[in-house]
Structures are given as C-alpha cells and as structure tokens.
Chains A and B, each alone.
Chain A
C-alpha cells in the first residue's frame, strides 16, 4: 500500500536528512585546528544588541562597547585610572576670571576706586607690598596677568518662556551699560579666588555689586524678574576655566581622512545641536566655546567651574567630513528625504560608523552580530587580532553553552558559572570590583526613617557578609559609601557597619522602640512595620529582599516585601517617592560627582535623591567637589563627604559586585620586545581597570604557551 509507505518513509527520510547534518559541524578542537583564521578572531557574546553606533547619540552599554573599538577620544584612563592622552598628546588647564568694578564699594585704604586703581592695588598685593594671609598669597600667586576691559554699552534680547506652555514667549530687550571689568589670567583653576580677593577689596565688594543699576529692561515684568535678568547679564564675578588640547598629528580616520581640530569642534557642535537629541548634552552644557586655534590645537572655554570637564573628552570623536551639514544634505537627497528635516539621527553613519579607533566597522546584522576588522593604520600600531565579533545571545545559559562549543571566546559569565569553571585546566578566570553598588534606600521623609539611629540599626541587622558569600558566590565586596572603591576618592578608613542584632536593638531602644510581649518592636503602642520593595526580574535584588526581611524580622520588625515591574516601580514609586524602603543599585562613573543623587536640591519628584537625604555640610562639599580642579583637594573633600554619608546612612550600603570573566588559556598577551623577539605574557587584570585593558595585544595561540618568566 503506497499511502502507508509514504506515511512511514517520509518522516524517516526527513529525520535522517536532518540528523546527518551533525557530521558536517566542527567541534571545539576542529574549529581552531581546521581553520587557522579562527585564531585571529575574537568572538564575544552580549545579552543585548547595540542601538546606534554613534557616540553622540547612544546611551546603552552595548553601543558604547563597540564605539570604544571604532572611535577614539581625546583622552582616556590608564591602568591606574589617571588620564592618558589618545588623540590629544597633552593638555593644559588654566583659568580666566572676570569681575566688574563695583563703583559704589569702599575699598579699605583706597576708597571708591576705578578700574585703574583696582589693577594697581592688585599688582601691589601680588608684589607682596600688602600684608596678607598665606591662603590669599596662594591665590595671588596663581594670577599671571591683569588687564582691564573698558566700560561698554550693548543690547541683549531674551525670550521669556511662558510657564507650562511650550510656545515661544515675547522677546525682551535689555539695554546694558556695563561698567569696566577686570580680567585675570590664572595658571591654575582656583575656586577660592574671589573669596580671597574680597579680603583685599573689602568685605562684600562682589556681593554688593548692583547689576540692576546698569541695566534697563523693556516692558513691565516685575522687579524680581528684572533683578534675575540683571544678574544673568552682568554676573559680578565669573570663572572661565580653559582646557587647551594639543592634538596628535597624522592620525587617520578609517577612510583615510586626516583627523584635526575641526573634528573636535564638530563633535561638540553635534552634541549640542538640538536636532540630534543627544543624551549627553548635560556633560557639555557648561562649555562656553570650542575654538580651533590651529589644526592641532583646540581651546575649550567653560562658562563656570566644572571639574568633571576633562573626563568628558574621552568621548569618541566624529569625522566632520562625513557628517557636516553639506554631507548630510547630500545624503538626504540621495535617500529621497527632505533635507531640511534630515538630521544626524537619520544618517546611515549610525549603522556604518567611521572613527579613528583600533578597529574598522565591517558589518552589523541586528540581533545577530557586529563584525569589526582591525585598522592597520591605527596610530598606536594595529591590534593583534584581525577581527572582533560581537555576538548577541540573549540567554545566559546558552552563552555558556556556546563558550563550551568554542564559538564564543568570552561572555558575561555569572558568579555561579565562574565557580563551575574555576578549577578547569583549560580556562583562566578573572574578577575585580565593578563600578557600582547595591543598596537599601530609606525614605527619610517618613517616620521612623527620619531618625539616623533607626537607619543605622537597620543596617546593623543585615548580615552583608552572608549575602556576599551565598548570593554572590563570594564575587562581591563590602562598600561603605558612594565612591568607586578602587579610586582614591573612596575613604578606606571608614569601617563597614558590623552585623550586630543586639547592638541594633540597643540603638532602637535609644530611639524609643521596645519589644512587646509578642516580640514585635513597638513605640507609643504602634508596631514598627513597613514595606521593602524592589523591581522584579533581578534575582540578586530579590535574594537581598528576602535576607533583609529575615534579618529585620529577627529583631522584631514587621517587614513586608513587594516586587514591582520596572516601569511601575520607577514611575509610581521611585519618582513619586512613594515607598518606605527599597533595594536598588547605582552604577558609577569614576568622577566623584554626587550632585544628582545626594544634594538636597534634588529631592523633588522625578529627581534622583528620592530618599530625601539632606545635609548642609554634604551639600556644600558636593558643590565644592564639582568646582575643585586640584586632585588632592578633591580627594580631601570626598573623604569628608564619604564620612558624612556613612554616618548619616541614608542608604544601607550593601556591596559592590565583582565583574567576572573566563577565557581559554590559549588567549595570551603577545608583545614584541625592542630586539624584535616575540614575548608571550599571561593576561592579568590591571590594578583598577579591567582585564581587557591590553586587548589590542591579545591573541589566541594553537597551544597553551609556556611562559618564560612566571610571576
């Protein structure tokens, strides 16, 4: 019977055909033996795909990982996290400071003074003809040049925004008769300059400067607004820090075009162009002006003191010749789109980037892979690997399986997976503290969290070491404050709060909480109860939730827990500050800026100080850190700030997780010594950076080499 035969044989044939394909697929060993090119390729796996490959537009970590390969910034951080020149060979930071002559003020010993007299006085002070304190002497010593800008008249127009409507308001013309201004050129940035000059020029020389009397505002807008405008147009004092970059000559973009200062200026302009909707605008908002001095010199002037400025120039530099207005217009016409509406966001560049980094972009298949080839004309010498492949594998377990199958060289290995591979002779594993921490935040607007003793007691009742041991498989460290542990901003003299439930109870008793007969903590007949929340989908946080709940229950606190979907968690709870306590994490940059997260001006809804932490001294220090250009002083402020936050305990600082990585032992560092001999070295994580710091020197060998000098 044919029907029967067909029914039986078709599936058998189909299945056999499918199964025999196994015989054609290379195994782990065959992949590198049968195909020598495989040794020149480095394949890494990631959970998510990149969004746009344009450093000005992207904000996700996958994109930035690729951008770091394709683009090059002016500077970056070396092994010890110090700044190191890349496209810039060197840089200078100095300052121009300005103040208006206050014609009404009485200067001690001089009286009312005009510009000439003030300059004379300052020169006399510099020549040490005046008795001053050492502190003032330092500031005076920084001054290299004093000049006068004569009085002048000018008009500015401001557009008054009507509140709550986005329509453009009416224009306001402001007539200004600016008095003479003194310009000081300093060789260092000095945030105390004006404070120190005020001692010489008299108590409130700057503060009493009455800007309003030099300004005439048209129209009736009320005195308060007028004053605000006057202060804006004629600020009594102004700091203009300046960074002067010397650029590296003869650096090529991947298309052969030579990099120069115009590319830097263009990158800045692209960032600030409102059409591009760059998510990094706030980093560059303090920039006043970027000037091209000559093709290899850029001068960046800032509107105000902003000590984080230098680090922002690690951003990848875009090629001007491909993305300037003219090129974009051409591209729009080619694609048949309206040139007036066409912006960098629509450009093909975002999926075919060109930079001057060590790798050239080759191909991108969404949700599959991104392929980069090495750039043979890279200024620092081409990398050893010929090809870099970024695979997108959304599942962590299958990433591990691909690693075993040999089609991935590295992946986002989890602590429990490291545990599995630690003793395998085929692999080498690394770990180190990452840039971020997990914490429990308390809503300090609510009772009883407004009491520092209660917060400290809550911290004491959680056994963090156990969390690190059992939840993180030892891949974590304790942390006591909001700075990156491997930087010197972190104050290592602060000891973590010990696990001490009895001590916690004593502290709570001090705050008025006593245990009832049933064992619950009570105060004025009310039980200590609250809800601890976090977002769903993060197993580590969920585990922390359970451990914290257990720890607090043991000392008699009635804690409930709740998991919320991320969007609900953020919009309904965090943004509206509607929670008792929550488990969350921050990832940090190296720069010690705590303004958004801990400054008391940031406690409103939708802002990031959602726990409502307020402390005057901390506020002052946060601002000072932002303005201080001297590293030692910054460190000093940060240590004090760390101390305040650790005693205030707005958060229970739990741990900083470690990043982990596993590689085949055949991957090593290959270097050529001065005599031209090839030397192989083991890959070791840098003191403070990551294990991929020397990636350009990596290569995979057919066999594990014997290292000549082990140590």
Chain B
C-alpha cells in the first residue's frame, strides 16, 4: 500500500510536468495576442504593441517565459493581464461561487439516479423501464444550452420570476430567510440543468449494474432461501452493485474546477468555467495556464483517490 502510494505520486508528478509543458506550448502556439493589444485600433502604434509585449515578457524565448510563469505561480505572484489581480485569489473566489452549484448538482445526480435506476432494473422491460430509458436517451442527446433556453423561457414567461445570476437583483432589504431562499431558487435551475445529463447517464449505469448482480448465483440463492424481496434487492444485490460507484466518486473531483462553461455563461454565474472561457477569449495566459494546471492536479488527485477508495472498499483488490 505505502509503496503503491509512493510510486503513484512520483508518476503523477512526472505527468504533471509534461502537462505543464504541453499546455504552455499549445497556448503560445495558438494565434492571437492578449486583448490589451488591439491590432485594429487606429490609436495603437507598433511601439506600444512592443511595449506591451515587453511588459508581459512575450518578447522572450518560450523556455524563459515558461520559467517566468511557473516561478511566479509557485511563489504565488501570478497576476492576470486583464486586471492585474492575483490569479490565485481570483480562482479561489470563483471556486467558492462554483462550489454550491457543484454540490447541489451532485446531490441531485446521486440521490435521483439510484432510485430511478434500481426501479428500472427491478421491473425490467416494463412500461416504467421503457419510459425511463426513453427519457435518459432524450436527456443525453439534447444539447445542454438548448434545454437551458427552453427551461429559462418557460419559467420566466410563465412564472414571471428572475432566474439568472446568483440572486435577484434589486431585491433590497428583504428578510434573511427571504434572501437565503432567493439564492436557493437561483441555484435550482442551473444545477438541475447540470444534473440532467448526469442523472441520465448514472441511472443507466445503476440499472445495468443491478441487472448484472441480480443475475448472480448468490442473489438466486437468497431468493430461494425465501428472504423477503426487499431484503434481497436492497441488501444482497444493491451492496454489491454499489462497488463501481465508489470509484466514480473520485472522478467527479475535476468537475469542481471545470464547472460548466455553458451553464455558467447562460446563467451569468460568476464561476470557474466562465472565467476560464473568458480568459481564453482574451488570451489572458496566466489565468488559462493556472486553471489548466490546477485542473490537471485535480484530475490526477481524482484518479489517485479512486484507486485508494477501491482498495479500501473491496479487499479483494491489491495494487
């Protein structure tokens, strides 16, 4: 176990190094300049463009720029080109905004998928199962932004309440419960949208896992023993069917930072995904690279956590 952890950490650091190099290269190879440098503005003289490039070290060779950037990053001094704010502070603020969206979305996904999937498996081939299958595929195939628009237009024109942003604007001096509930309402629709695809996919997994386990000998034995069906399904079958999902839990970690670019942009939610997206449009290299680096760390940490979890939950597995 200890040797596995040690090996895997070293491997991951090497991977991280390569990720940092490759992402740095890709971003610098892409055409375009930071948005501060506007080539179509008549008032921008070439000397000024040159001065900006010097200020951002863009005139240096790539490997020097690479060293500059990671040196600043590890000493915590990286600042965004757009507004001279510290990148780490910005990411932290955005992370806190994305977090509730992520938490509610995850709760919805994981609490709803199981009952839906289990029921489908238990009544396999029935009207409910077919209906669930149909809706799952519908939700998987419908584009997220399209669904979002439909839902927003429906809610706003029918109920005349605001849904965009993190709270109702101009709500004034409302009472505390009012303010809290208002925030929860604003969380609801984006997180439902974020969860739909997850529910559709995860409930399919649950269904197939349950079906597989239900066909095992020990389940048949349990049934033959005359145990009540509920006990067979929920104790003997479900527990074993749950195993793969424990590992999936580790893999949702990267979702924390990626957030959802589309949902956040549509709902003007000031989260991570939207910041990264806007940084890419403005060629704000420090932000893009830092977000990239942090998400690489999270992906690697996620796989690590899921490896370890697997070992903990299933004693049969040895790495």
Contacts and interface: CB of A to CB of B under 8 A. Distances in A.
Interface string B227-241: 010110111001000
B161 A570 contact: no
B304 to A, nearest CB: 29
A28 interface: yes
Contact of B238 (A3, A282, A367, A565): A3
B162 A405 contact: yes
Contacts of A406: 160, 162
B270 to A, nearest CB: 4
Given A51-B82, A282-B45, A407-B164, A367 B278 contact: yes
B165 A405 contact: no
A304 B107 CA distance: 69
A397 B159 CA distance: 17
Interface in B210-246: 228, 230-231, 233-235, 238
A574 B40 CA distance: 10
Given A14-B108, A24-B181, A391 B44 contact: no
Interface string B5-22: 000000000000000000
B120 to A, nearest CB: 13
Contact of A25 (B185, B230, B231): B185
A350 interface: yes
A608 interface: yes
Given A51-B83, A393-B268, A1 B39 contact: no
B39 A606 contact: yes
Given A11-B112, A25-B182, A366-B83, A35 B170 contact: yes
B244 to A, nearest CB: 18
Interface in A398-425: 398, 401-402, 404-408
B205 interface: no
A279 B41 contact: yes
B123 interface: no
A280 interface: yes
Contact of B83 (A14, A351, A596): A351
B293 to A, nearest CB: 21
A536 interface: no
B61 interface: no
A26 B36 CA distance: 41
Interface stretch (B46-54, B130-138, B309-317): B46-54
A133 interface: no
Contact of B32 (A3, A19, A397, A567): A567
B296 interface: no
B160 A28 contact: yes
Nearest to A393: B268
B48 A281 contact: yes
A596 B39 CA distance: 12
B33 interface: yes
A346 interface: yes
Given A26-B161, A38-B172, A404-B160, A4 B41 contact: no
Given A21-B181, A31-B170, A393-B268, A606 B31 contact: no
B133 to A, nearest CB: 19
Contacts of B169: 43, 369, 389, 391, 402, 407-408
Contacts of A568: 31-32
Interface string B89-131: 0100100000000001001100110110010000000000000
B43 interface: yes
A219 interface: no
B61 to A, nearest CB: 15
B157 A404 contact: yes
Interface stretch (B62-70, B148-156, B252-260): B148-156
Contacts of B305: none
Contacts of A574: 39-40
A662 to B, nearest CB: 16
Interface string B257-278: 0000000011110100011001
Interface string A107-147: 00000000000000000000000000000000000000000
6 contacts: A21-B188, A27-B159, A346-B84, A368-B166, A402-B165, A407-B169
Given A19-B188, A20-B181, A346-B84, 18 more contacts: A15-B112, A23-B181, A24-B182, A31-B170, A35-B173, A37-B170, A59-B41, A60-B35, A282-B43, A350-B83, A350-B84, A367-B268, A367-B274, A368-B268, A393-B164, A397-B152, A574-B40, A606-B46
The 10 A-B pairs of least Cβ separation, nearest first, read: A567-B32, A24-B181, A405-B162, A596-B42, A21-B185, A35-B172, A1-B230, A21-B184, A407-B169, A393-B268
Interface of A: 1, 3-4, 7-8, 10-11, 14-15, 17-29, 31, 35, 37-38, 41, 43, 49, 51-52, 59-60, 274, 277, 279-283, 345-346, 350-351, 365-369, 389, 391-395, 397-398, 401-402, 404-408, 565-568, 570-572, 574-575, 595-597, 606, 608
